[in-house]
Amino acid sequence: METQQTLNVSWDSQRNTLPKTSDNGRESSSASPIPTDVIVDIFSRLPLKSIAICRCVSKLWASVLRLPDFTELFLTKSSSRLPQLLHARVTNSELFLFSSASPHPDENSSSPPVVASRHMKLSFGGFGEISCGRPVSGLVFVKHVRVLDGEKETSLAICNPSTRQVLHLPKVEMKRLKVRSMFGYDPVDKQYKVLCMTTDGGHYQVLTLGGSWRMLECCIPHYDYPLLKEICIDGVLYYKSINQSTQTYLIVCFDVRSEKFRPIEAKGSLGRAVLTGDMVNYGGRLGLIICEDNRGNVGAINRRSSRFKLWVLEDVEKQEWSERVFVLPAEWKNVVGEHRLNFVGVASRTNEIVLSSWYPINCFYLFYFDPEIDTVVRVEMQGVDMDVSNYAVLQTFLDHVEDVKLYA
């Protein structure tokens, strides 16, 4: 009976309320209407799969679930819950996206396996190179480059793993072959933007999601860093680059809202960190992390690693950095074994340093190093297809949130 009552609710858009119904399913004149914000709050407590089902119940429910008040509230609540992991399996022509709950490592060297569930598959016509960026406020930026009739063709798309929606972006109008693209989010105006630059640093364009490409002016003479890996933190897009005048390494800060560029010069030991380090989000600040052996040499992450070094950008205006050194515990060698690892990032709530295994290629593990209590925990990940044929690459991202907004 309760289901029938709900299905027969009609939405009064003028009063911004949903009137109650009587037991026979008809609208009751004596009953007070249900405020829309109450309905929105009720929907926001449902899990992601239930939201997808509710959208198919009626046009009324679908319209309520499109309201900005609802989608923003759902995203806020998703951000406040325990962050999820997003896993991307990339081949030459396909992208598979999986998600899983964040593990709860304890002081034991091995925790129970975590099972991932598949969200979506994205296919591109023909073989090429697919790159998948870090998720930004629930969305994933994907680029596919292939050679067609002797010329490079680049396709850009935005994926929403929560709704399985794919938005193919307008073609970049740059008459140059080598172009780099990055994805950012402005939390103030709640806008997603794509920054595009030629590798020689000569041309810049920006696209606001739902709009068209616009030219940008940049007063910083810099060009592309060979291994470009950007990160967006609190409305600022950080990426590595090279100063054209001094040929030194720097980090460029692109303010997504104002669309202004700011350089951070990499001096002294920081230059090595910019050259070889991975950019991470460390408590809402930019971090650069590297791995060293017992001789202080930067190298691969394996059982012979001795320590991690982390530089944290404390003040952007003054360009002040702090440096932290984390000596790995004796148990590191036994827990890591023959695995070879990559940095994934730093867990937002625990400051654990998270790493993933890329060898051996027939298994998938995450490793959690907690500097506070000096422990290393290995977690087996299940449910992600580990078929390594067709040159598959597996990536893991931290702090993924669910966004149920449908983008036009």
Lowest mean pLDDT among 51-55, 79-83, 140-144, 259-263: 79-83
- The CATH fold of domain 82-400: Neuraminidase (2.120.10)
β-bridge mates for residue 98, sequence order? 87, 118
Q: What angle do CA 396, 352, 322 make, to 5 degrees?
A: 110
* Residue with the larger pLDDT of the pair 11 and 167: 167
Give yes or no for a cis peptide into 113 (omega within 30° of 0). Answer: no
The answer to whether residue 237 scores a pLDDT higher than 50 is: yes
pLDDT band of 80, cuts 50, 70, 90: confident
**Residue 334 burial by Cβ neighbours in a 10 Å radius (0-12, 13-18, 19+):** exposed
Q: 175 Cβ partners below 8 Å, 6+ apart?
A: none
Q: What integer pLDDT is reported at residue 90 of this predicted model?
A: 86
Q: What angle do CA 148, 151, 156 make, to 5 degrees?
A: 75
Residue 250 to residues 207, 242, 246, 272, 371: CA-CA distances in angstroms? 24, 6, 10, 11, 28
User: Which sequence spans correspond to the domains of the chain?
Assistant: 36-72, 82-400
Q: What angle do CA 4, 6, 11 make, to 5 degrees?
A: 130
β-bridge mates for residue 382, sequence order? 115
The answer to whether residue 272 scores a pLDDT higher than 70 is: yes
Model confidence, pTM: 0.86
List the structure tokens of 277: 């380090």
Q: What integer pLDDT is reported at residue 13 of this predicted model?
A: 44
pLDDT band of 9, cuts 50, 70, 90: very low
β-bridge mates for residue 84, sequence order? 101, 400
**In whole angstroms, what is the distance from residue 262 CA to residue 219 CA?**
9
Question: What would the mean pLDDT of 296-322 be, rounded to a whole number?
Answer: 93
Lowest mean pLDDT among 30-39, 315-324, 353-362, 370-379: 30-39
pLDDT band of 153, cuts 50, 70, 90: confident
Lowest mean pLDDT among 85-99, 218-232, 311-325: 218-232
